[in-house]
């Protein structure tokens, strides 16, 4: 999403726009004025036409962002893949920038419809009110998307924490199993001169059986606890 700052200066007989790069809506308004100057015969009509086109394009940007949020939502809640946190953070950042661009325009339009501007015909007030309502609607939908993205971020972090906890449980369970078996091996690996079991013909197999029995009991226990 690319944002372009646009300033509009209006007077009784002029409308001046100031912007760093080309604004498509300005070109469209100029083209429409050249084709049918009678439809936009005064500054008020030109101003309304320009702002109306800009606000209409906001809905296209909003639709694009909503589709991105919906795609991320499907992945997070349906667990169809791994969502990078960077993608969620990107959506949060773009929605914040978008809201910062829309909110001032909403405030300006609110001032315009409340004040009596001499070079605006009274008949144009309902049209500016309609544009103002559109900016309010865009702002509300942006806020709704921001809340949804925040919820998705919380859900993703919760899912990651849950997965990490499961991994830690599995690693802990296997560590306990192996440590228990290693304890038996360590006892019989000590270099003492007198260890009766070492002289028994079945001592080696008894030690192995004891380790396997300990491991089997612990594996069964952890599976019942759903740690494995």
DSSP string, 152-184: HHHHHHHHHHHHHHHHHHHHHHHHHHHHHHHHH
* pLDDT(81) > 60: no
* pLDDT(106) > 90: no
Q: What is the mean pLDDT of residues 47-69?
A: 89
Dihedral sign (CA 20, 22, 27, 29): negative
The domains found in the chain, sorted by start residue, are 6-162 (1.20.58.340), 167-224 (1.20.58.340)
What is the pLDDT, as a whole number, of residue 36? Answer: 66
* pLDDT(137) > 70: yes
CA dist 25 to 53, 83, 181, Å?
Answer: 6, 36, 75
Q: Supply the pTM of this predicted model.
A: 0.68
79 against 59, higher pLDDT: 59
What's the angle, vertex CA 17, arms to CA 16 and CA 21, rounded to 5?
Answer: 150
Quick one: 219 exposed, middle or buried, by C-beta within 10 A (0-12, 13-18, 19+)? middle
Which of 44-53, 124-133, 180-189 shows the lowest per-residue confidence on average (mean pLDDT)? 180-189
Q: What is the mean pLDDT of the chain?
A: 81
What is the pLDDT, as a whole number, of residue 160? Answer: 75
How is residue 160 written in tokens? Answer: 């990651």
How is residue 137 written in tokens? Answer: 């609607």
């Amino acid at each position: 999403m690319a944002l372009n700052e646009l300033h509009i200066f209006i007077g009784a007989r002029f409308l001046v726009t100031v912007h760093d790069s080309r604004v498509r809506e300005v070109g469209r308004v100029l083209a429409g004025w050249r084709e049918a100057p009678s439809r936009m015969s005064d500054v008020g009509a030109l101003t309304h036409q320009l702002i109306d086109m800009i606000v209409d394009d906001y809905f296209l940007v909003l639709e694009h962002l909503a589709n991105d949020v919906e795609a991320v939502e499907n992945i997070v809640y349906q667990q169809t893949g791994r969502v990078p946190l960077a993608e969620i953070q990107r959506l949060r950042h773009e929605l914040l920038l978008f809201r910062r661009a829309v909110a001032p325009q909403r405030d300006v339009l609110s001032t315009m419809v409340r004040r009596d501007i001499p070079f605006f015909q009274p008949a144009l007030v309902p049209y500016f009110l309609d544009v103002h309502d559109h900016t309010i609607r865009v702002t509300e939908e942006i806020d709704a998307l921001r809340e949804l993205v925040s919820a998705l971020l919380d859900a993703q972090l919760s899912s990651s924490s849950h997965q990490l906890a499961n991994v830690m449980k599995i690693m802990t369970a296997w560590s306990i199993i192996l440590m228990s078996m290693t304890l038996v091996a360590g006892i019989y690996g000590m270099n003492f001169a007198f260890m009766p079991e070492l002289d028994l013909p079945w001592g080696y197999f008894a030690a192995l059986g004891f380790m396997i029995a300990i491991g089997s009991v612990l594996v069964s226990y952890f599976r019942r606890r759903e740690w494995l």
